[in-house]
Amino acid sequence: MNLLDKLNWRYATKLFDTEKKVNDEQLEFLKEAIRLSVSSYGLQLYKVFIIKDPELRKQLRKASWDQSQITDASHLFVFCNYTTSFDQHIDGFVKRIIEVDDNDKEGVINYGEFIKQAVGNMESDKRKSWSEKQTYLALNNLLIACAELKIDACPMEGFESEDYNKILGLDKLGLNAAVIAPIGYRSVNDHTQNRKKVRKPKKELFIHT
């Protein structure tokens, strides 16, 4: 299967096979795909929780409108954006660059100061929105990587973020649950998989200038 075949194959899985699990090697592949995701300035201002524990997922299901994917999937990915200490994260980013390539240390440090100013000048609502958007970029890498391995996934916004933050102790870590994705294998009883994919035609979606 080429990439387009795999993207046509995937869909937002509604029912997972509770007996089929993603193995450790596959999980590492998915993690690396997320790690290599693009992000604004390259900062990666997020953390990803990969939750397997069934008891914890029972709690999270209650905060997810009782959707069965939360407990039935092999793993639950929770993408969390940082809400505080942006300067500290930017300093960490600058340090990582210098550790990899210190040929222009002064330039990198100046770049870090530029980012701090740009982020610091954002109004709080805009900074919150910007930070949350970064998690969606990482989520997309997960979805494509899952399709590559023919692992099913279901990106979800249908959950109570504040409840997730409380259950996972995210507030104490300066994090916020932005978007989630259960992954695993589709159940034969999930009739959604038989639906034809509906997308806008290219002539309606694209404008060439």
Q: Alpha-carbon torsion 96, 102, 106, 107, what sign?
A: negative
Q: Chain-wide mean pLDDT for the chain?
A: 97
Q: Is pLDDT at 102 greater than 80 in this prediction? A: no
The whole-model pTM stands at 0.96
Rounded distance, CA 8 to CA 125, Å? Answer: 36
Predicted local distance difference test score (pLDDT) of residue 103: 79
d(CA 186, CA 127): 37
Reported as a single tens digit per residue, the pLDDT across 107-156 is 999 999 999 999 999 999 999 999 999 999 999 999 999 999 999 999 99
- Please list the alpha-helical segments (H only) found in 101-173: 105-120, 124-149, 161-168
Domains in the chain: boundaries: 3-86+130-205
Please state the CATH superfamily assignment of the domain spanning residues 3-86+130-205 in this structure: NADH Oxidase (3.40.109.10)
Cβ-count burial of 29 within 10 angstroms (0-12 exposed, 13-18 middle, 19+ buried)? Answer: middle
Angle at 78 between CA 76 and CA 80, to 5 degrees: 170
108 and 194 Cβ atoms separated by less than 8 Å: no
Residue with tokens 């989520």: 139
